Structure 1
Amino acid sequence: MEASTLDAVRLSMGLQQMRAELASSNIARAGAPGLRAHTLDFSRLEGLLTAYGEGRASAADLQQGLAELRALSPREGSTEASALGLDAQVAEMASASMNYQTLGDALSRQFSLMRLAVTGRS
């Protein structure tokens, strides 16, 4: 597995983790009157992953994307947290968690296959 592919998986897993944390934070804030929901714009990093999958982004682009991911911090949005649809936030958190788990499982299978190829046994 190429290092850039691992970077793409790491970036994707990081995005899913941030999505789950953001939804979790918004759920926790929903009961506090006057607090605003937190927001993050993931579109650039999602676009970078799409571009990498289509061969339009390089390993250096992924490295820059990972640095951007580390620098992301939630901002207070314009929506009051109590006005958020809790069902939508729970669904977002569950979706991000499932995506993260799926990526982890695929990575684990890939490493298992690599171990089998190297050692000749499972």
Structure 2
Amino acid sequence: MSQEITVEAVRLALGLQQLRAEVASNNIARANLPGFQPQRLEMGNAQAILRQAASAGPAGFQQLASLSAAGIAPVVADGSAAAAQPDVQVAEMVAASLDYQALAESLNRHFGLMRLAVTGRSGA
């Protein structure tokens, strides 16, 4: 069961990084529109949800499977001066991309180890 919880947690984390990049790209695309206020992803609740699911055992898997990234990390207005700077938003997109790639690689290795355990060989 811990394997399924891990995969679901990584699925949610991938979704969060995708949403993070989408919010940053939206901020860049609309930066010159009059009255546009930059947005940011509020991820404080996501970590608490993942901890709760991990400690809930089998019920935690069901909880994670029913969640989406947008459901646990709302997009909120960000009135800070830094949020309005395109360079800051590009850096946010790059960070989200790197995090996404690291998560995808860890999931790939996880499945590779599972394949090795089942078949006894690592090749396809």
Long gaps (5+) in structure 2: none
Q: CA deviation at 1:59?
A: 5.2
Tell me, which stretches of 5 or more residues in structure 1 are unaligned? none
Deviation of 1:93 after TM superposition, in Å, equals 0.9
If the length of structure 2 is used for normalisation, what is the TM-score? Answer: 0.75
RMSD over aligned CA atoms reads 2.9
- The 5 Å alignment of 1:71-90 reads 71=71, 74-75=75-76, 77=77, 79=79, 84-90=84-90
Give me the identity figure in percent: 44
Cα distance per residue 1:65-95 (max 9 Å; x no partner) = 55253436534x26399x7121111111111
TM-score calculated relative to the size of structure 1? 0.76
Q: 1:115 to 1:68 in 2, by over 3 A?
A: closer
Q: How far has the Cα of 1:39 moved from its partner?
A: 3.1
Structure 1 segment 1-122 matched on structure 2, within 5 A: 2-49=3-50, 51=51, 56=55, 58=57, 60-61=59-60, 63-64=62-63, 67=67, 69-71=69-71, 74-75=75-76, 77=77, 79=79, 84-121=84-121, 122=123
- When residues 62 and 43 of structure 1 are mapped into structure 2, their CA distance, relative to the original with a 3 A threshold, is farther
Decide whether the 8 Å contact of 1:38 with 1:74 is kept in 2.
yes
* Separation in 2, partners of 1:78, 1:104: 29
Secondary structure in 2 matching 1:16:
helix
Q: CA deviation at 1:108?
A: 0.6
